[in-house]
Amino acid sequence: MTNIPFNKPYLHGRELVYIADAVRSGKISGDGIFTKKCHEYFELEFGFKKALLTTSCTDALEMAAILLNIKPGDEVILPSFTFVSTANAFVLRGAKLVFADSCDDNPNISPAAIESLVTPKTKAIVVVHYAGVACDMDTIVNIANQHRIPIVEDAAQAIDSYYKDIPLGSIGTFGAFSFHETKNIISGEGGMLAINDTQYTSRAEVIREKGTNRSSFFRGEVDKYGWVDIGSSFLPSELIAAYLYAQLENLRVIQNRRKAIWEAYHTGLRSLADKGNFELPNIPFGATNNAHMFYLVCKSVDERSSLIAYLKSKGVHAVFHYIALHTSQFFLTQTDGRALPNCDRFSDCLVRLPMYYELLDDEVDKVIDVIHEFFTK
């Protein structure tokens, strides 16, 4: 029986060649030739004012929290249906987390929920573009501007995705990206902070370099460097950047293949969705689909569990996703008791199907066939 994994990291082009080039260059720590190539690519392709590679999206989010001077007592509004890194970045600065519910028809944060949660203590609004699909940024930006609150875009899943022709990650004050092996464009581990307000650029370089002005020193702007601010070691090695750059060279090819897989799933499963067996992903007006993920929303947690088990019995590895953070053990002592029913539903009922560049057409067909078997047996 052929086993189809949920994810499979891949080589697409010159990854190993560029890693060897980085080693031969004599510099495999951060900010070498391939890091610079990646920065230039992101700034030119997506219009970020400044791009800084990091070792993870988690690090990028932590940098954003430091740059916004988040401190104990500050409130941060964020979705509950997200990965723990979105919350941890702000908890580490002492912030009070204020979780917002998802929309009715997709897992993204509800703008109406955000509006009701703003207080004078709100110091940031964090949005997560789930599955690479844009949140309702017009409404969210209006709320943020009205109250003069910065927006942080957790765009971990949203490379090469847009909202009304604007690249995700370029709308808020900051955008945080992931190049983990489960993402569209990968480097094993890896991430990036996109800075869209240039007043933060110089300090971001300092924070990323352990609180030193080392970057300014290497540009010849100062005659020595030292400890000037808080920070940590957020920059990745050249080996990570070399792998990433080879992937970026093939961005369009990779994206086209992922989109073809996504469309095949959507076409093959539409008849079951039309009969009410489950919900297919909803792409709201103004948002694009970067084919990061294909998911179904089942009717119940029991049905979701049964479907995953049936797929596994047939050699297909499907998985559920986040357990809503407002229900987590860590947060239970801090919860205000508000119900977040949409987050709970997506947490209980959402199942993700295999999605990776090397997934073959006949493997996609097999996944579709097994799902049809489950709902018609």
Where exactly are the structural domains of the chain? 15-248, 251-376
The per-type count for the chain, helices as H runs and strands as E runs, is 13, 12
Q: Alpha helix locations (H) across the chain?
A: 15-24, 33-46, 57-67, 84-91, 111-117, 137-147, 201-208, 214-218, 238-248, 251-274, 301-313, 341-349, 361-376
What are 220's two structure tokens? 């010849």
Per CATH, 15-248 and 251-376 having the same topology is answered no
d(C-alpha 272, C-alpha 33), whole Å: 50
What is the distance of C-alpha 59 from the center of its chain? 12
pLDDT score, position 330 = 87
pLDDT score, position 226 = 87
Three-state helix/strand/coil letters over 61-113 = HHHHHHHCCCCCCCEEEEECCCCHHHHHHHHCCCCEEEEECECCCCCCECHHH
Q: Is 369 helix (H, G, I), strand (E, B) or coil?
A: helix
pLDDT score, position 220 = 66
What are 244's two structure tokens? 């990433």
Class of the CATH domain delimited by 15-248? alpha beta
Q: How many CB atoms lie within 10 A of CB 163?
A: 24
Low-confidence ranges of the chain (pLDDT < 70): 1-2, 216-220, 224
pLDDT score, position 219 = 66
Question: Which architecture characterizes domain 251-376 according to CATH?
Answer: Alpha-Beta Complex (3.90)
